[in-house]
Chain A
Amino acid sequence: MTPAQDTAADGSASQDDSLSVEAIHLRIRRQDRPDSPAYWQDFRLPYEADHNVVSALLALRSNPVTTSGQRVEPVAWERNCMEEVCGSCAMLINGVPRPACSALVDQLEQPIVLAPLPKFPVVRDLVVDRSRIDTGFQHVKAWIDIDGAWDTHEGAPRISPRQWSDNYLYSRCMSCGCCMAACPQFGPHANFIGPAPLAQVRLMNSHPTGRYDKTERLHAIMGEGGLSDCGNAQNCVRVCPKAIPLTTAIGELGRETTLQALKDLFG
C-alpha cells in the first residue's frame, strides 16, 4: 500500500470536494489474448459517490466507449462475492495489488489506473491465471491427511483459544494472490513458491494432527524455490488485504527449517 495514496484518500476528501468531481476516470490496461501485446484505454463514467472499482467496471460494461469515442469490447475481469472474501477480483489499482471490490472510488486518486495482477500470466484484460498458487498448495501438501470424509465419532484434539486465534489469522487467506504479486522474488522469472503457500505450511503444521506431516512439509520448502528464496522485502505483509502476518509465518518457518536441517543431519 503506498502511504501517499492512503493519506490523500482519508485526509482531504471532504463532502464538498467529492461532489465537485463529475466523472470517474479509468485508465485500463487491455490485452486480448495471453500472447498478444497489451495496450491502454481511457474511460470516463458519471461520478457516483458509492462506486467501488468493481461496480465502476460493471457500469462501464454497459457502455464501453473510450474517451476518444471509440466503442470497444467490455473489459474482462474477475469478481464474485464482492465482500472481499472470495479473492477473485484482485488486480493492480494505482500500482497496488488489492481486491477491487473494497477499493472505493472516492478514496482513490484519479485517473484510476487498473492493470492485471502482475507476476501471473494474463488471460485477457484484467483476468490472470493464478494456478501457480494451487501448484504451491499441492507442493506443500496444504491439507490434513484424514482417513476419509466420514464420521470417526471423534473430532480433532482440543485447541486452545490462544492457538486458535493465531491459526485463524492464516486460515483467512483467500489466495487472492496480492502477496505473490507484490513479492520481488516471485514471478515467471523464478521458482520461488511465494508467501501464500508458505503461510499454509505454518497453518497446517500447527494443527494437532496436521503436525504429523510436518517434516514432509518442511522438506518441501527446504529445496529450490523454497523458503530460502525469500528476500525479506516484506511487501507481502504490507499488501495482504486480510492483514495476515505472512512475514511472521516465514520467520517461524525459518527457525523450523533450520532445526529440521540439523535433525536431518544428525538424525
Chain B
Amino acid sequence: MTGSGGAIVIGGGLGGLWATLTLANAGFPVQLFSLFEVRRSHSVCAQGGINAVLDTKGQHDSVRQHIIDTIKGGEYLANQPPIKSMCESAPGLIRTFDRMGVTFSRTAEGLLDQRLFGGVKNKRTCFAGASTGQQLLYGVDQQVRRLESLGQVTKHEWWEFLELLKDEAGNCRGILAMGLNSLEVRAFPAEVVVLATGGFGQIYAPNTTTSTNCTGAAASRCYRQGARFANAEFFQFHPTTMIGRDKTRLMSEAARGEGGRIWVPRTPDDRRAPKSIPEAERLYILEEMFPSYGNTVARDEASRAIWRVTRQMGLGLRGTDRVYLDLTHLDRSFVATRLGAILDIYRKFAGVDPLDEPMEIFPAAHYPMGGLWVDFERDANGGMVSESPRNHATSIPGLYACGECDYAYHGANRLGANSLLSASFSGRVAGASAACYLRGLGSDRPRLRQHDIDSLIARQESLNQHMMRSDGPESPFQIHRELGELMTAKVGVVRANPELEVALEELRELDARLDRIRLGDAKQWANQSLSFARQLRDMLQLAMVVTQSALARDECRGAHYKPEFKLAIPEGKFPGDPEFEDYRARWQANNARWLKTTIAEHRPDGPKIDFEPVDTSLYPPVNPRDYR
C-alpha cells in the first residue's frame, strides 16, 4: 500500500473528464472515481451553451470584451488572471470539442453557429441544440473511453470518495473510497488527486435545479481535512424554475425574453382559474416594480421581486411560493417556434401545456459561485502561467480542484454560458497543473504507513456499522428536507443578519439530530441510505460555511443580497453631480472594505472566516455598475 499510484481524479463531469484526458495525454496513469457512470454527471443538464469569442457574426466581438463581461458579471470579485486565460483559451477548447465530434449547431455554411446569451451584447455562445452540456460531456466521455481501451485510464464507477490520505508532511497521497455496492472501504494511493465533484445545490433541496448527486459532500470532506473554502455565500438563484416534489426544473430566461409575463392575483389565496382572473385583478410583478425593464429585468432582480411578492407580501399562488409565468397571451405558433424546448419540458414534467395555462414558477438555487479555494500563478501579461503546479492547487499540497467545486472564475455572480466553459477550461488546467506537480516530485517522499491506513479504514468501517445499527427517532430524509427549507427561507435570495444567526443555530440543531437517526437499512450491500446519511453530514457542514460566510459579508454584491447594506444609486443623478459623486465615493469605500475573497477554514467549533485581496490588475473597479 505504499507504491506510487499516479493520479486520481474524483468526479466524471466535464471538469473531471478534461482533467483525466489532460493527465493521460501527459503520460500519467489516471484512476477515475465516480459515484455512478460518468456520463450521467450533472454537466448533462446545462442546456444553453458555452461562451467563446469566435467573432463570426460580424459584430467585432473580442476576447477582451469577454474578459470584461465576465469580470463585471461577477462584480469584480473574481481574480482576473484566471479569467483572462479562460477567455483566451475558449476558442481553442471549442475547436477541440468540435474535433471530438460534438454536435454543435451549424450555420447555413456549415460553420459553428453562435447565439446571444444573457448579460452580453454580442453573439458569443456556441450551442448544440438544447442539450449543449450533454453533448460536450459525451465528447470527452468518448475520449476517456478511448484512453480506457488503451489502458491509460482506469475507471472506478460506483465508488464514493470518503477522505484524503495524507503523509507526515501533510501532502495528499491518495484517497479512501467506499464501493457503493460492496460497501468495502479501500485505500487508493496516488501522488496527486484532482477533485471535480461539482456543486452543492442539494443543501437547498428540493428548491434547486441541481441533480440529486450535487451534494457537495466530497468538497466538504476536503474542507474538513483542511482545504480552504472560498466565497461560499454566493449562490445564484434562477428566477424562473418549475417547482416539483423532487426538484425544480429550469425554465430558460428566453421565456421572459420572448414576452412571457410574471404575475399573481392581487388578492391573497385567490383560487380562481388563472385565465378567469381579470387583468385589473392581476399584479404584474416585474412590470410594476421595474417599469423600464419590465419582464426582462436581470436574473437577480427578478428573483428578489418574486421573493418579495411571495415571502413578504404573501401573494404566492394558493398560499405557496409559486407565481405565474404566462405565455398564453402570445401567438401560439410564435411561442411554439421560439420556445419549443421549454414547452416540451413543462408539458413533460408538469403534464400541462403552457400554451393553454400559465406556468407556475419560483426562484431556485442554481449555481454556487463559491467552492474550494484554488491558487494561480500570474504571468507577465496578467494571465495565468500556462504550466504551473500552482494553478488550481487547493491549500492542501497535492490536491487540485476544478469545475463547479472550485471558486475561481465567477466572482459574485456567473455570466450565462460561462459554466460549461469554466468547467472544461479548469479541468484542463487542473490536469496540466497536476502533471507539472507530478514531474516535480522527488523520489524521496515519505511513505504512507500501512498501520495508519489500516486505522483510517477501521474508523470509516466502524462509522458505517454504527450508522447501519442506528435506531434513534430521527429520519435522515426528514432532516434533509428541513435543511432545504431552512436554507431557502433564511440563506436564500434575500438575507438579513438576525435570520442568518438563527439559521446557524438551527443548522447546529439539525447536525445534532443527525446523531440520533434511524437509518432503516442494515444491509451490507448497495445500501443507498448509508451513503446518503453520510453525505447529509457533509451537506450540513457546507451549509454552515455558506451561512457563516453570508453572515460575515455586510454588503450587497452579485448574488449575495442584504438589503440593510444596500448602496442605492441616487435617482436622476449622473456622474458630475455632487450626489452621484458622493455615491461613487461610498461605492469605492465599500469596495475597499468588501472587495475581498471570503475564506472559510474548518475549526471544531465552526467555520473561521477571513478575507483576502482580489487581483483586479486587468480591469480595476472604477465605475459602479449602472444599468439606467
Contact call A82/B211, Cβ cutoff below 8 A? yes
Residues of A within 8 A of B131 (CB): 85, 172
A161 to B107, CA, bound (A): 7
Query: Is B529's beta carbon under 8 Å from chain A?
Result: yes
Contact call A158/B109, Cβ cutoff below 8 A? yes
A54 to B244, CA, bound (A): 11
Residue-by-residue, is B94-120 near A (CB-CB < 8 Å gives 1, otherwise 0)? 111011110101111111100000000
Contact call B211/A52, Cβ cutoff below 8 A? no
Q: Told that A58-B246, A149-B96 touch, could you supply 18 new A-B pairs with CB distance under 8 A? A: A50-B350, A52-B245, A61-B477, A64-B520, A80-B213, A83-B249, A83-B345, A127-B526, A134-B37, A134-B145, A141-B149, A149-B143, A151-B93, A154-B95, A156-B98, A164-B106, A172-B134, A175-B39
Contact call A148/B25, Cβ cutoff below 8 A? yes
Contact call B110/A171, Cβ cutoff below 8 A? no
Residue-by-residue, is A170-189 near B (CB-CB < 8 Å gives 1, otherwise 0)? 01101100000000000000
Contact call B110/A158, Cβ cutoff below 8 A? yes
Contact call A149/B98, Cβ cutoff below 8 A? no
Query: With A138-B149, A150-B25, A174-B134 in contact, is A101–B246 under 8 Å at CB?
Result: yes
Residue-by-residue, is A118-156 near B (CB-CB < 8 Å gives 1, otherwise 0)? 000001100100100010011001111110111111111
> Smallest CB-CB separation from A74: which chain B residue?
B529
A207 to B104, CA, bound (A): 12
Query: With A32-B523, A64-B520, A144-B99 in contact, is A82–B143 under 8 Å at CB?
Result: no
Contact call B45/A85, Cβ cutoff below 8 A? yes
Q: Which of A48, A87, A143 contacts B143 (CB 8 A)?
A: A143
Query: Is A247's beta carbon under 8 Å from chain B?
Result: no
Q: Which of A80, A130, A151 contacts B92 (CB 8 A)?
A: A151
Query: Is A160's beta carbon under 8 Å from chain B?
Result: yes
Contact call B142/A143, Cβ cutoff below 8 A? yes
Contact call A80/B211, Cβ cutoff below 8 A? yes
Contact call A82/B247, Cβ cutoff below 8 A? yes
Contact call B40/A59, Cβ cutoff below 8 A? no
Query: With A87-B40, A153-B95, A155-B95 in contact, is A73–B520 under 8 Å at CB?
Result: yes
Query: With A107-B351, A144-B100, A155-B98 in contact, is A50–B212 under 8 Å at CB?
Result: no
Query: Is B586's beta carbon under 8 Å from chain A?
Result: no
Residues of chain A in range 189-213 having any CB-CB distance to chain B below 8 Å: 203-204, 207, 209-210
Query: With A86-B44, A137-B145 in contact, is A74–B100 under 8 Å at CB?
Result: no
B-binding residues in A (CB < 8 A): 32-33, 48, 50-52, 54-55, 58-59, 61-64, 71, 73-74, 76, 78-88, 101-102, 104, 106-107, 123-124, 127, 130, 134, 137-138, 141-146, 148-156, 158-161, 164, 167-168, 171-172, 174-175, 203-204, 207, 209-210
> Smallest CB-CB separation from B146: which chain A residue?
A143
> Smallest CB-CB separation from A137: which chain B residue?
B145
Q: Which of A83, A85, A104 contacts B351 (CB 8 A)?
A: A104
Contact call A161/B181, Cβ cutoff below 8 A? no
Residues of A within 8 A of B349 (CB): 52, 83, 101-102, 104
> Smallest CB-CB separation from A100: which chain B residue?
B246
Contact call A146/B350, Cβ cutoff below 8 A? no
Q: Which of B101, B212, B249, B522 contacts A204 (CB 8 A)?
A: B101
> Smallest CB-CB separation from B205: which chain A residue?
A58
* Interface of A (DSSP majority class): loop
Contact call B245/A168, Cβ cutoff below 8 A? no
Residues of B within 8 A of A102 (CB): 348-349
Contact call A86/B95, Cβ cutoff below 8 A? no
Query: With A159-B110, A168-B128, A174-B44 in contact, is A144–B101 under 8 Å at CB?
Result: yes
Contact call B246/A156, Cβ cutoff below 8 A? no
Residues of B within 8 A of A153 (CB): 92, 95
Residues of B within 8 A of A130 (CB): 37
Interchain residue pairs with CB less than 8 A apart (11) = A33-B525, A51-B245, A62-B475, A62-B477, A73-B520, A81-B42, A81-B45, A123-B526, A146-B100, A146-B143, A148-B25
Contact call A207/B245, Cβ cutoff below 8 A? no
Cβ of B167 to closest chain A Cβ, rounded Å: 31
Query: Is B135's beta carbon under 8 Å from chain A?
Result: yes
Residues of chain B in range 175-229 having any CB-CB distance to chain A below 8 Å: 181, 211-213
Residues of B within 8 A of A138 (CB): 145, 148-149
Cβ of B62 to closest chain A Cβ, rounded Å: 19
Cβ of A65 to closest chain B Cβ, rounded Å: 10
Contact call A149/B22, Cβ cutoff below 8 A? yes
Query: With A48-B245, A71-B520, A80-B42 in contact, is A143–B145 under 8 Å at CB?
Result: yes
Residues of B within 8 A of A155 (CB): 94-95, 98-99, 112
Residues of A within 8 A of B140 (CB): 149
A152 to B526, CA, bound (A): 44
Residues of B within 8 A of A64 (CB): 520
A33 to B21, CA, bound (A): 35
A86 to B475, CA, bound (A): 28
Contact call A164/B105, Cβ cutoff below 8 A? yes
Interface-central residue, B36, B245, B523, by most chain A CB under 10 Å: B245
Query: With A62-B478, A156-B98 in contact, is A50–B103 under 8 Å at CB?
Result: no
6 smallest CB-CB distances across A and B, nearest first, come from A158-B110, A151-B92, A143-B142, A55-B246, A55-B245, A124-B526
A169 to B256, CA, bound (A): 28
Residues of B within 8 A of A124 (CB): 181, 523, 525-526
A156 to B143, CA, bound (A): 15
Residues of B within 8 A of A73 (CB): 520-523, 529
Residue-by-residue, is B118-150 near A (CB-CB < 8 Å gives 1, otherwise 0)? 000000000011010011001010110110110
Cβ of A136 to closest chain B Cβ, rounded Å: 11
A161 to B246, CA, bound (A): 37
Query: With A50-B350, A73-B520, A172-B134 in contact, is A78–B36 under 8 Å at CB?
Result: yes
